[in-house]
Amino acid sequence: MESLYPDLAALGQTELLQEDIRNTGAVVMGRHTYDMGNGDYTGYEFQVPIFVVTHHAPEPPKGQNENLKFHFVTDSIESAYEQAKAVAGEKNVMVVGGPNLGQKSLKMGLIDQVDIGIRPVLLGGGLRLFENLGDTRIALEEIEVVRTPGRTDIKYRVIK
């Protein structure tokens, strides 16, 4: 994680992340990403309900409060999105996870916008961001490109 976010505190102060925090009403998170928090979400930037897609619910993490509550969804990805949308109201549902959750969500038509953060570091192996889309064709429209020292963020609208 330090290779991707050498200065996480500085990233948290950027207008890009602050805007995401203001506009997010709920989060859908993959289980692998959840596990990267090592059971402690004290100080997590998104203080909203988080719906973790998993096969088995783990012990609740540290750091939950009246705003940040974890819900472990074991029945389906669609169920996690439905629950997240219900609590988000007019705000966005943010997807936080690796390629597996993103690819499945894109194929199912559950995502309206794709945000990609690029850091100038090559980590070698790993999972390809769009590898398992198969024959699915997904058209994207560029919304915004933000370049900051050491990072480029690109936002795309999914054209349906």
User: What are the residue ranges spanned by the domains of the chain?
Assistant: 8-159
| Domain 8-159 top-level CATH class | alpha beta
Look at the block and give the residue holding tokens 């936080």.
96
Cα 40-114-44 angle, rounded to 5 deg: 15
DSSP 91: S
According to the model, what pLDDT value does residue 83 have?
98
Dihedral angle computed from the Cα positions of residues 132, 140, 143 and 27, in that order, rounded to the nearest 10 degrees: -40
* Structure token digits, residue 13: 């102060």
According to the model, what pLDDT value does residue 12 have?
64
What is the rounded CA–CA span in Å between residue 28 and residue 35? 14
Per-residue pLDDT of the chain (160 residues; tens, 9 = 90+): 555 666 666 666 777 888 999 999 999 999 999 998 999 999 888 999 999 999 999 998 999 999 999 999 999 999 999 999 999 999 999 999 888 899 999 999 999 999 988 888 877 777 788 888 888 889 999 999 989 878 899 999 999 8
Supply the DSSP string of 96-143, one letter for each residue: E--HHHHHHHHHTT--SEEEEEE-S----SS--TTGGGTT---EEEEE
Closest of 116, 82, 79, 109 to residue 4, by C-alpha: 116
Q: What is the pTM of this model?
A: 0.88
